Chain A
Amino acid sequence: MLARIQLSDDEVTQLTGQLDAIVDNIAKVSEVATPDVEPTSHPIAMHNVFREDVVGQTLTTAQTLQNAPDADGDRFRVTAILGEEQ
């Protein structure tokens, strides 16, 4: 699943009902979203925001790793990337 959340059976049952009701309710946006209306992605229009291409203040490796669940000192450590059947 796209959301990457392993749900229990109970959660699936409960969420299915709730999400059905929510989706029914929010589908009303299509009533007024006619083809002639332009979509707005951003409330205040801004165009490309550039900065000078120079190295800024960045975090050190130690700072970057300080909250890691697992690391070897230089890198994040994770479990196997591929499963057996892959």
Chain B
Amino acid sequence: MSEIIRWTAAELGAKLTAGEVSSVEATQAHLDRIAAVDGDVHAFLHVNEHALDAAADVDRRRAAGEDLGELAGVPLAIKDVLVTTDQPSTSGSRILEGYRSPFDATVVARARAAGLIGIGKTNMDEFAMGSSTEFSAYGATHNPWDLDRIPGGSGGGSAAAVAAFEAPIALGSDTGGSIRQPAHVTGTVGIKPTYGGVSRYGAIALASSLDQVGPVARTVLDAGLLHDVIGGHDPKDSTSLPDAWPSFAAAAREGATGQVLKGLRVGVVKELPDSGFQSGVAGSFHAALKLMEAQGAEIVEISAPHFEYGVAAYYLILPAEASSNLAKFDSVRFGLRVTPDGGGTVEDVMSLTREVGFGPEVKRRIILGTYALSAGYYDAYYGSAQKVRTLIQQDFDAAFAQVDVIATPSAPTTAFKLGEKIGDPLQMYLNDLTTIPANLAGVPGISIPSGLAEEDGLPVGIQFLAPAREDARLYRVGGALETLLVDAWGGPLLDRAPILGGTR
């Protein structure tokens, strides 16, 4: 195994800039790693055959004296929900098999402009509906910590790719926790930015009032570096915020000094008691808080009485918006078309195409969504869910009047076994209990590894939430805690993951 793949994006970027390694070497090292372990992990749906050409181009530009960014030449894995001109984009669905986008998503275009090397497209639950990647039409991804367990979802492919050292950084999308919950179960870092902080142009829409694109990485600094590349206003996305953003990499570096913890008020939600979490998850969470407290942080109990309605509201709003967004898969303009034997009208073709092209979770949610939006039920379901959104926002407002950040465990349990919850949608939905409120309110959230659960030795994440537009605060706090933890562990958590590509 080449040492190159163990470097963080920041380290690799520095060595590329210094000329100690070329982008072709770095890209080849990651391609070799994918070839060696992805048969077991299955993080990738597609490996980019143009990656080495792109790397050679960056090397040429660097040799010609061009002033390139900090990440130029660094490989990047891209969640398949983001459209790319040089690779297929399927969003994990059979209905988009082989789809080639005529344009790049804005985040992909920005990454390309910054010299990042798109190394492949990562696996995900179909149209980002799921918490385990088991609903991918192309087979599940396996957790690098235990190949019999889920890597989280929907962005399990991106999280597993960075955890398995197949790429140093990746792009994800988070509608109810799809960046943060996979980070939790794979011992990696993931950020859902403030709603509107990163462009969604070219992100295949799931639920437009909830979706947000963000970085996936092994360190807080790497996430910040990638966030700096992809973030900021995009006129092609009308929901994109026109704000000027500070450097998130600078925030992560500042956080690493630990000063931010002195006097930091950290809110712990009364309505999320330890009894709602696996004991090792709660244990790791409290140990992390203690460490912060020892450095001068103040732990404050806060109340968020409406968080418990979050999952219910989410499973009304998301299906409603998804049923509308997925109406475009109509067998006419792109994607699969299945014609009934003996022909049929456009409507017959459409219905059969959607029957064949969509998997079970997508069907479930589309039907739920059309039901929730139908005449007679709209006010009781969708209307009420939108009111819960207001109440959750008010809970956040009240909390952030008292504290600087809110901390929760990132998910209720460590990685469960593949197949364990696939037949029980309600159990699957509860995975996102602690991550959903941020999407409903539009506030940013980060998950960083807090340790391993005592009972099963699997990774646990701690989530921090900040007020809207205060993403930099999360990088400071995340960077501070990460530094303390890595010092305490004597090295990154992923050093303790099993070696892949051995005897299996």
Contacts and interface: CB of A to CB of B under 8 A. Distances in A.
Interface of A: 1-8, 11, 15, 18-19, 21-23, 25-34, 37-44, 46, 49, 51, 59, 63-64, 66-70, 76, 78-83
B309 A31 contact: yes
Interface in B202-251: 209-210, 235, 238-239, 241
Interface stretch (B98-106, B128-136, B255-263, B448-456): B98-106
A26 B315 contact: yes
Contact of A4 (B312, B351, B425): B351
Given A29-B384, A69-B335, A3 B194 contact: no
B476 interface: no
Contact of A39 (B345, B390, B439): B390
Contacts of B366: 3, 5
Contact of A67 (B334, B360, B364, B367): B334
Contact of A22 (B333, B391, B425): B425
A64 B390 contact: no
A43 B99 contact: no
Contact of A19 (B313, B354, B368, B440): B368
Nearest to A31: B309
Contact of A59 (B103, B350, B443): B103
A33 B332 contact: no
B68 interface: no
Contacts of A43: 195, 209-210, 389, 393, 439-443, 468
B324 to A, nearest CB: 11
Given A29-B313, A37-B390, A40-B393, A2 B374 contact: yes
Given A38-B390, A66-B102, A46 B196 contact: yes
Given A22-B429, A33-B384, 18 more contacts: A3-B369, A5-B355, A27-B312, A28-B309, A29-B387, A30-B380, A31-B309, A33-B388, A37-B391, A46-B238, A67-B333, A68-B334, A69-B334, A78-B346, A79-B339, A79-B345, A80-B345, A81-B346
B403 to A, nearest CB: 20
A2 B440 CA distance: 26
Interface residues of B, number: 75
Interface string B353-371: 0110010100110111111
A86 B149 CA distance: 53
Contacts of B235: 51
A29 B388 contact: yes
B336 interface: yes
Contact of A29 (B103, B309, B441): B309
A74 B369 CA distance: 35
Nearest to A70: B337
Contacts of A25: 312, 315, 426
13 contacts: A6-B354, A8-B355, A18-B364, A27-B380, A28-B312, A29-B385, A33-B383, A33-B384, A33-B388, A37-B387, A40-B386, A69-B336, A83-B344
Interface centre among A4, A15, A18 (most CB of B within 10 A): A4
A12 to B, nearest CB: 10
Given A6-B351, A81-B345, A82-B345, A26 B312 contact: yes
A20 to B, nearest CB: 11
A38 B238 CA distance: 23
Contacts of A63: 102
B481 to A, nearest CB: 26
Contact of B331 (A23, A39, A49, A69): A69
A32 B147 CA distance: 42
